[in-house]
Amino acid sequence: MPLIGDTAPSFEAVTTQGPIRFPEDYAGKWVILFSHPADFTPVCTTEFMTFASMADEFAALNTELIGLSVDSLYAHIAWLRKIQEIEWNGKKNIEVKFPLIEDIRMEVANKFGMIQPGQSNTQAVRAVFVIDPLAKIRTILYYPLSTGRNFDEIKRIILALQKADSDQVATPADWRPGDDVIVPTAGSCGTAKERMESTSDDQYCLDWFMCFRREKK
């Protein structure tokens, strides 16, 4: 199983949107690669309806979605067509336009550690891999078969990672866009002393190791 900071395994796959090659087809993009246990199951259906309804929000963040399960391409197509007929939680007429990988031989799932025998030998767990434009794995989430994912949190992770990369900062617990961010910890006694003694409209410290930058609302 690849770890955070590793280069994501490359693969070629047949999908509901045609063949794809990863990472070549996604150069310069953030990618959310996620697996689900099976087509025509209720939890997975709610997840796909939610992801599809948020596709434009992710696209605005330069982020592409790729789904995967070990079902066949024809099962995928039939299920995605059925999803368009279902109304749930205010969502209806949902068309899934992002690719859903056919992985009957579990080749991609095994590369990413999505098959976990403690849960199932024949179904992928609910894995989420957030992969950056350099094809580096930046976040890994695993949910059990019984628990649907929190999609607001998945989007928040993308926002936080992009903020960290662009501004060279860290984000505190429960951070949301517009909240104050954490600046790198002081690397010397002199810097720590200077931070504690200085005042700024843009920056404040709770202690020498814990300094924040105010964000413009």
Catalytic residues: 44
- DSSP codes joined into one string, 101-137: EE-TT-HHHHHTT---TTT-SSS--EEEEEE-TTSBE
Asked if 203 and 213 touch (Cβ cutoff 8 Å), the reply is yes
Judge whether 195 is annotated as a binding position. no
Sheet containing strand 126-131, edge to edge, reads 100-102, 63-69, 30-35, 126-131, 137-143
Cβ-in-10-Å burial (0-12, 13-18, 19+) of 21 comes to exposed
Alpha helix segments (H runs only) across the chain: 42-53, 55-59, 73-83, 107-111, 151-167, 189-197
Q: Which residues are annotated as a binding site for substrate?
A: 126
